[in-house]
Amino acid sequence: MVRESAGWGDGLRFGFGTLSVLRVRVERWDRAAGGRAMVAAPVVGVVLGALAAGVGALVAWRAGGLLGAVAAVSVLAALTRGLHLDGLADVADGLGSGKPAEDALRIMKQSDIGPFGVLTLVLVLLAQVAALAGQFAVSPLRGALAVLAAAVAARCALSWGCLRSVPAARPGGLGAMVASTVSPAAAVMSTGGAALLTAAAGLPDGHSALVLPAAVVVGVGAAWLLLRRCVRRFGGITGDVLGAMAETAATGALLLLALAG
C-alpha cells in the first residue's frame, strides 16, 4: 500500500536519483515524493554545483579561465548524464517544427536531434562557457561562485515548472509524475532560500554576494518565459520541458553575471 505523504528524505532521494548520476536508493517513486523532490531540487544543485565549481576553479588556476569554464560545464553535463541538455535540444526541435502539439511532442520523443536542437545546444553551451570564462578570468573564486549560482538557478526552475496550475502535456514519464505537484508558496520559498544561500556563499567575494541572488532570480525568470511558451505550444510540461527550463535558467543566470561585470 502506498503512503499518502512523503517526507523530505524521500524527496531528496527522488531528486538525487532522477536529477544526477549520484547513486542513491530511491525508496518511493510516486507523485508525493516527486513533488518534494522538485521543491528540494536546489539542494541537488548545490551539491552538483559545488563539485563542478571545484573542478573548474582548479583547472582555471592551473590552465586559465577558458579551460576552467569548459571543465565546469562538462562536469555539470556529466553529473546529469546530459539529461537537461537533451531536453533543451528536444524542446528546440519541437518548438521549431511549427507542427501541431501532438506532432511536436512526437518529434521531441524521437531519439535523434534535429537542426533546431543542434543549433540551440551549440549556442547555449557557447554562451555558458563564454560567460564562465569571464568570471574565472577575474578569479577562480568568482568563477566557482558563478558555477554554483547557475547550478542552483537551474534546479530552482524545476519547482516552477511543476506548479499546480501547470498540467502534463502527455501521460507517462517524469513530466507526468511531477506535473502539478508544487504549490506557489513552496516554489517561492525554495527559490528564495536558494537565493539567500548564494548570497551567503558570495560574502567572501563581496561583489558576488549582491549579484548572485539576482542571477538566480533572473535565471528563473528566463525559465518561466520558456515555460509559458511551452504550455501554450504543447499544452503542458514534459520531462524535456523541465530539462530545457533548467538549462535556460542556468544560461540566464550566467548572462546576468557577465553583464554585471
Identify whether 1 is part of a domain.
no
Q: Identify whether the C-beta of residue 133 lies closer than 8 Å to the C-beta of residue 69.
A: yes
The residue-averaged pLDDT of 48-69 equals: 97
pLDDT number for residue 259: 95
Considering only residues 39 and 206, tell me which one the structure prediction assigns the higher pLDDT.
39
Find where cell 562557457 sits. Answer: 129
Q: How confident is the model at residue 205 (pLDDT cuts 50, 70, 90)?
A: confident
Identify whether 14 is part of a domain.
no
Find where cell 582555471 sits. Answer: 60
pLDDT in tens, 74-127: 999 999 999 999 999 999 999 998 888 888 999 998 888 899 999 999 999 999
Please list the residues that pair with 182 across neighbouring strands: 163
Q: How confident is the model at residue 230 (pLDDT cuts 50, 70, 90)?
A: very high
The residue-averaged pLDDT of 65-81 equals: 97
Identify whether 163 is part of a domain.
yes
Identify whether 13 is part of a domain.
no
Identify whether 11 is part of a domain.
no
Identify whether 179 is part of a domain.
yes
pLDDT number for residue 2: 44
Identify whether 4 is part of a domain.
no
Cell reading at 84 = 537537461
Look at the chain and report how many structural domains it folds into. 1
245 vs 3, 49, 157, 158, 241, CA distance in Å? 30, 17, 6, 7, 6
Range of 221's domain?
A: 42-260
Q: Which of 155, 207, 202 is nearest to 182 (CA)?
A: 155
Identify whether 15 is part of a domain.
no
Q: What is the pTM of this model?
A: 0.94
